[in-house]
Structure 1
């Protein structure tokens, strides 16, 4: 049922869920493709399970968009070009880089869910928490990356550089999206406080640094 004027959600909520939904959909496609290049059947199966998890998240977000009276495809459309362009610019060249992509991308997405869960309404909060409680991806990627680093310690330098590039591109993309989606910014940063927006980006960068250090990589 389409929400009435008195119950209609803030447009920023629809934009947020749409951006997250397209992120989960592309995450599913990337993980499914990466599984074909996995060096072992165990790694292939692990990525397959993680890809299925991403698609379940997409379906949950898609359903919530419909409940809010939005067409999911139309709602996601404004984010398609930007997100696709980001992935083209950060196309990995090796199995290890694919793992770092998954690690950095998943970590950033989870951090964004946490930030958003503080500001979305009660109706969306359970969905955010449900996604945040999903476990397994970070642990799997960490395990596989440690195998790579144990076999080739010198790879740590290259992968640190790759991780920094990914985060730099992600932050740049986020700032560009913020510039053209003011209602989304208003949701995440009440009062249109640019200082608080900067603080949020700082928190995202700090969390990324902590994740990379757990792998022995430099952010």
Structure 2
């Protein structure tokens, strides 16, 4: 009988287990750093209401980290060990995309993180049902989109010149996010193997990969448009 990825026996396959642990590890560290960044951005918030809104978003991100950490523990994996391989590439990404002000921080959280999250959602299509459900829950909109869109659009209405600068910033974030994803995939064969498939798991052919990148591009364009920025 051919096994499916919805069965708990999927974790009997060492290659699959390594890939699933890597996926959970990179997501856990991503959520932990998102909590840190949003909490830091709250210091730049122009109003008390904005500060409170960002504090709430930061709390949500930490809650996501806890969910991912607990899933790793349930699998018998040390969460710190699972996250460690991704510290350097993710920190490099954040170093290269440090926002210069409050608005750039908002665009980064919405556009840059949004593209990365879309990519990991695509990978989640190839994992077991329980892991996939957790990934989709973690990346469900927590109110961040509405908050960011409102603040950025309002700022551009007050000062239209901001639109050009923030549009360039958004494009830079996309380039850096794609480079980050490529570096992680190159360094972690296990994640690449999820997309490639195996004997009992279908993978992506060139046409499917093309469609995936089309979906990523369309989602990015939609986010930039929602912010009132040129993609």
Structure 2, unpaired ranges of 5+: 1-8
Partner of 1:142, secondary structure, is helix
Going from structure 1 to structure 2, the CA distance change for 1:146 and 1:66 (only over 3 Å counts) comes to same
1:1-219 matched pairs, under 5 angstroms = 6=12, 10-190=17-197, 193=204, 195=206, 196-197=208-209, 199-219=211-231
Alpha-carbon distance between aligned partners in 2 of 1:129 and 1:151, rounded to the nearest angstrom: 36
Going from structure 1 to structure 2, the CA distance change for 1:15 and 1:5 (only over 3 Å counts) comes to closer
Going from structure 1 to structure 2, the CA distance change for 1:140 and 1:5 (only over 3 Å counts) comes to closer
Asked whether the 8 Å contact 2:116–2:177 carries over to 1, the reply is no
Partner of 2:12, secondary structure, is coil
Partner of 1:36, secondary structure, is helix
Quote how far apart the aligned CAs of 1:117 are: 3.2
Alpha-carbon distance between aligned partners in 1 of 2:209 and 2:196, rounded to the nearest angstrom: 6
Quote how far apart the aligned CAs of 1:180 are: 1.4
Structure 1, unpaired ranges of 5+: none
Q: Which moved more, 1:147-156 or 1:183-192?
A: 183-192
Report the aligned-residue RMSD. 2.1
> TM-score w.r.t. structure 1 length?
0.91
> TM-score w.r.t. structure 2 length?
0.86
Asked whether the 8 Å contact 1:117–1:125 carries over to 2, the reply is yes
Q: Which moved more, 1:81-90 or 1:103-112?
A: 103-112
Alpha-carbon distance between aligned partners in 2 of 1:106 and 1:25, rounded to the nearest angstrom: 13
Q: What CA deviation, in whole Å up to 9, does each residue of 1:152-204 have, x standing for no partner?
A: 11111110000000000110111111111111011134256572445434432
Alpha-carbon distance between aligned partners in 2 of 1:42 and 1:189, rounded to the nearest angstrom: 46
Aligned residues: 217
Quote how far apart the aligned CAs of 1:112 are: 2.9
